[in-house]
Amino acid sequence: MQPPGEIEDADSWSFYHEMLRHAQLSHAVGIAAEWRVADHIAAGVSDLDALSSVVGCDREGLARLLRVLESARIVARCKRGRYELTARGALLHSDADGGVRNTMTWWSHYRWPVWTHLATSLRTGRGSRARALGFEGFDQLDADGEAAAAFNGAMAELARQLGKRLSSAYDFAGVKTIVDVGGGDGTVLSALLTAQPGVRGVLVDLPHAVAAARSKLSAQGVADRCDALPGDFFDSVPARGDLYILQRVLHDWDDERCVAICSKCREAMPEHARLLVIERVLPSRIDHCDDHLDVTISDLNVLVMLGARERSEHEIRAILAKASLQCSTTIELLLGFRAIVAATSPKAPGGDIRMQQKARSIGSDCKGAAF
């Protein structure tokens, strides 16, 4: 092995330079997202003077930001100094299908200040949100409407992709009622109800999410088949569902409270029901791939934000077992996410076997940054 002083590896050096560049770029794009620059350009406010006026920014400062966006192929400068959105930039529009505006806003404005305390969280094993923002856990979302809107919007942007994938990967035969526990703004449940027109839904979450869920369910045309209920899954979960979903819930909590959440689901589940636990799953061995980088970064993220953690499939199965639930199969979704299927009975039904065969044909082929 060469001594450190003699190593000359241009590719490795470029890796670190690119990493620093993209860290700064993500913050710049986050500001553009927060200021709705893409929305304004799409609405025809496309010259520098008009844009700086509508966003309330120094003209020269905005010009410098737009140069970065142009270099990143997010906007293009046209004749007479006007700007237009590229295909990449269109994803920053508020109404874009598969868009990322809320995600970029949440990361830049609300999450990045907490990440500056990562070293403290690593040393203590505790979250740093209170240190950075003055709020523990999710209390910020109850106190700050703009933060709640950004958070729910960011979660919905990823949930939309998960919902699409799940609707084609899971066998819904025999499912009449889906209960989405901690279902956020209803994006996943809306996608599932749209794909399964004969199915009803129940969503339960904290009040800040339920208001957004009712609006989303109505906009998607499924409100007549779905109840959105305020509630706390530590207290109770709606009963008599056929399929229960815990989507990105367990990684927010320690093992004891995860067992408590799953136990509440188990109490509500009829014997024939199934529970889907959808989480990013830590691999047993780290490979050099985007999915593994996504999930390991996500593990740091839930640490610094909540003092929580991502888990391996073995660890999730152990939590389910303590809640008297047994796993029948696992579906790979995207970005390192899996749906782990659990039942009250150790015997897996034929539907789970069909679903497992279906899942092998779906695979995981979508790459992206950790949320």
Active-site residue list: 251
How would DSSP label each residue in 125-188? SS--HHHHHS--TTHHHHH-HHHHHHHHHHHHHHHHHHHHHHHHHS--TT--EEEEET-TTSHH
Buried (b) or exposed (e) across 186-196, using 16+ Cβ within 10 A?
bbbbbbbbbeb
Task: Name 282's bridge partners.
Answer: 312
- Structure tokens given for 78: 């046209």
Q: How far is CA 345 from CA 40, 270, 272, 318, in A?
A: 54, 10, 8, 15
Going by the DSSP 8-state scheme, the letter that residue 199 receives in this structure is -
Q: Supply φ then ψ for residue 296, to 5 degrees.
A: -70, -35
The one-letter amino acid code at 313 reads E
- Structure tokens given for 52: 């700086």
Cα distance between residue 252 and residue 308, in whole Å:
5
Coil, strand, or helix at residue 235? coil
Q: How far is CA 86 from CA 37, 154, 178, in A?
A: 13, 21, 39
CB atoms within 10 A of CB 251: 19
- Structure tokens given for 285: 């061995």
